């Protein structure tokens, strides 16, 4: 039981980092769109 729990715990962080990476990318894209419209 503990082994399965450890496996799921190891599988969670990569998904969280990917979600954070996607959020960062969308924010960067939004910033680029705003700056390109400003200049």
| 8-36: pLDDT as tens digits | 555 667 777 778 888 899 999 999 989 98
Is the model's pLDDT at 38 over the cut of 60? yes
Which pLDDT band holds residue 37 (cuts at 50, 70, 90)? confident
Is the model's pLDDT at 1 over the cut of 60? no
Give the pLDDT confidence score for residue 4 in this predicted structure.
59
> What is each CA distance from 29 to 1, 20, 33, in whole angstroms?
43, 14, 6
Which pLDDT band holds residue 5 (cuts at 50, 70, 90)? low
Is the model's pLDDT at 39 over the cut of 80? no
CA distance 10 to 28: 28
């Amino acid at each position: 039981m503990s082994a399965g729990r450890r496996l799921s715990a190891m599988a969670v962080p990569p998904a969280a980092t990917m979600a954070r990476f996607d959020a960062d990318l969308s924010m960067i894209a939004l910033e680029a769109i705003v700056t390109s419209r400003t200049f």
